[in-house]
Structure 1
Amino acid sequence: MQSARAQGGGVGKREEGQGMAYTEDGRYEISTVLSRTFDTIGANFLLFAGLSLVLSGLPAFAIDWWQASQIAVDTTDSMAVLRPAVFVPIVIVWLVSIVSSTVLQAALTRATVQHLSGETPNFARCLKVGLALFLPMIAISFLLAIGVGVGFLLLVVPGIILWLMWSVTVPVYVQEQVGIFEAFGRSRELTSGSRWRIFLTMLVLVFALWLLAIPVGMLTAAARSAGSATMLLSVLGAIVSALSSMVMVSIQACIYVELRDVKEGVAPGDLEAIFA
């Protein structure tokens, strides 16, 4: 299927089709990516919220609650968190959270692309994709963390550039079924020429999440002033973690779909054909 961008017509004109909006001038559109992200989440809220709460919210809740409840036993001991009875369970839950977060990334990426292609995402099928890919996804996350981390140590800017360059590595790997290193290369290729627009997209999203976090912060402060608020604080932390993960993964998938359309004229239906 040829994208509407590649067909004739006036420059800058937008045309709707199969959940997508095409620009014939071949330019990455920030507003399109953002609206597509929240439209996708809104249309599949129960699915997205369910996956995010189970795979991101629950591990965050377990870590926060266990750490806070154990430290609260002896508030005079500043090294309480290093006791094996406290530290070991936290490490175990942290490792579980690494696995679950990679499963979530793959599952929500599939769900987002399926929705944009006009299909209805299925909880079990998306979760199955996530479970099948969790080992290579862990490797990708590790390589991303190392590369971007080293870049940030080199006066921050190189880290930002690498983060933007590799920002769609996960969607590429999940959707195109390529090798791990090939996924990094594809991400670099796709993001070329659009990286500052991607940066602005993420900046807008981070600002929006920050605004949403303000009332959560107020609730947290009120809960702390009440004294015994360990459970409530852990629940709030879990909700924030699930919401942030849901939005961040979804917008990465939408950025990937937009870049494939802009640079290669590939519509969502073609992406599904590749996956199949």
Structure 2
Amino acid sequence: MADSEFGEARFEIGAVISRAFETIGSNIVLFCGLALVLAGIPQFLLGFWQATNIGLNANLVDGSYFFTSAYWTPILVAMLVGVVANAILQASLTRATVMSLSGETPQFGPCLAVGISLILPMIGIGILMGIGLIVGFALLIVPGIILWLVWSVVTPAYVQEKIGVLEAFSRSAALTSGSRWRIFLTMLIVLVLIWVLSIPVSFLNAAMTATGNLFLVALVGGAVNALYSMLMVAVQASVYVELRQLKEGIAPSDLEAIFA
């Protein structure tokens, strides 16, 4: 890993993860509200529809149900809603995280408004990243991981710096240069933590599935999706703040002045 031009400073994994959790904790209502509305509810509705319709449809015996519009229409609608909702969530929570880390108090309405105003470019970023990662992972996985690290702060760079979509990809590559292994370790720690937390949830989910309570099964799925989404966005934004401080000497408290 290359040292920062500002002395011996380096990317601090503990500080990044700690800031992400502190940000969520100090704005728990805002983060949970946005995540539940934009990630939890769409996942719950899709999960509940799948559990009730697929589980009860007699045409599953010969597989004909999977080739009907009754099956594909709700799924395509849910996917479209999910793409739009995720775009809003990414931008909204990124803005909230950076505001909080800079000492400001993020509010639900303004953060949501930022997310809504950036729907189209955020969808574009998601499509470009998706295509790139699919190709990368198809090439023996490693190129996909590298691209994932190179583009790990595309969203916060775009939301915070008001730059173009393609410029955000270049900006992310420049910011992450020299720190990608530590970013990888950061993301790995977070993913392992999520996996550990998912173990009791899996047992709970299995128990509810055994009782046949499809509503609760879908509800847990939606809650888990909301938790995962808000945690990953907060960590990515925290990584971005750390990189700005490391590479450019910009303290978190100065980011809002730059945004304004």
Same fold (TM over 0.5): yes
What whole-Å deviation, never above 9, does each CA across 1:93-140 have from its counterpart, x for those lacking one? 210110000100000001001111111000000000000001000000
Q: Residue 56 of structure 2 aligns with which residue?
A: 73
Counterpart check, 1:198 vs 2:187: no
2:37 and 2:67 map into 1 onto residues whose CA distance is 27
The residue type equivalent to 2:34 in the other structure is L
Deviation at 1:79, TM superposition (A): 4.1
Whichever structure has more helix as a proportion of its residues is 2
Q: Indicate the structure whose relative CO is greater, using CA pairs within 8 Å and at least 6 residues apart.
A: 2
- Change over 3 Å in CA distance of 1:68–1:79 after alignment to 2: farther
Deviation at 1:248, TM superposition (A): 0.2
1:135 and 1:74 map into 2 onto residues whose CA distance is 37
Q: Residue 161 of structure 1 aligns with which residue?
A: 146
2:72 and 2:233 map into 1 onto residues whose CA distance is 29
Counterpart check, 1:261 vs 2:236: no
What whole-Å deviation, never above 9, does each CA across 1:214-254 have from its counterpart, x for those lacking one? 1110011111221x221111001000000000000000000
1:95 and 1:82 map into 2 onto residues whose CA distance is 19
What whole-Å deviation, never above 9, does each CA across 1:183-218 have from its counterpart, x for those lacking one? 000000000000010000000000000111011100
Contact kept in structure 2, 1:67 and 1:81, CA below 8 Å: no
Q: Residue 239 of structure 1 aligns with which residue?
A: 223
Q: Residue 13 of structure 2 aligns with which residue?
A: 30
Unmatched tracts of structure 2, length 5 or more: none
Query: Partner of 1:193: helix, strand, or coil?
Result: coil
The residue type equivalent to 2:137 in the other structure is F
2:125 and 2:10 map into 1 onto residues whose CA distance is 28
| TM-score, reference length from structure 1 | 0.89
Q: Residue 114 of structure 2 aligns with which residue?
A: 129
Counterpart check, 1:64 vs 2:47: yes
The residue type equivalent to 1:230 in the other structure is L
2:235 and 2:68 map into 1 onto residues whose CA distance is 39
2:67 and 2:256 map into 1 onto residues whose CA distance is 48
The residue type equivalent to 1:60 in the other structure is Q
Query: Partner of 1:119: helix, strand, or coil?
Result: coil
Deviation at 1:75, TM superposition (A): 4.8
Residue identity over aligned pairs, in percent, reads 54
Equivalent of 1:119 in 72, 90, 104: 104
Deviates more, 1:261-270 or 1:82-91: 82-91
Query: Partner of 1:172: helix, strand, or coil?
Result: helix
Matches within 5 A, 1:95-114: 95-114=80-99
Counterpart check, 1:212 vs 2:197: yes
Deviation at 1:68, TM superposition (A): 1.5
2:189 and 2:64 map into 1 onto residues whose CA distance is 39
1:270 and 1:42 map into 2 onto residues whose CA distance is 22
2:9 and 2:175 map into 1 onto residues whose CA distance is 13
The residue type equivalent to 1:67 in the other structure is Q
Contact kept in structure 2, 1:166 and 1:188, CA below 8 Å: yes
Query: Partner of 2:103: helix, strand, or coil?
Result: coil
| TM-score, reference length from structure 2 | 0.95
Counterpart check, 1:55 vs 2:38: yes
The residue type equivalent to 1:38 in the other structure is F
1:234 and 1:53 map into 2 onto residues whose CA distance is 13
Contact kept in structure 2, 1:172 and 1:256, CA below 8 Å: yes
Aligned residues: 254
2:236 and 2:85 map into 1 onto residues whose CA distance is 18
Query: Partner of 1:95: helix, strand, or coil?
Result: helix
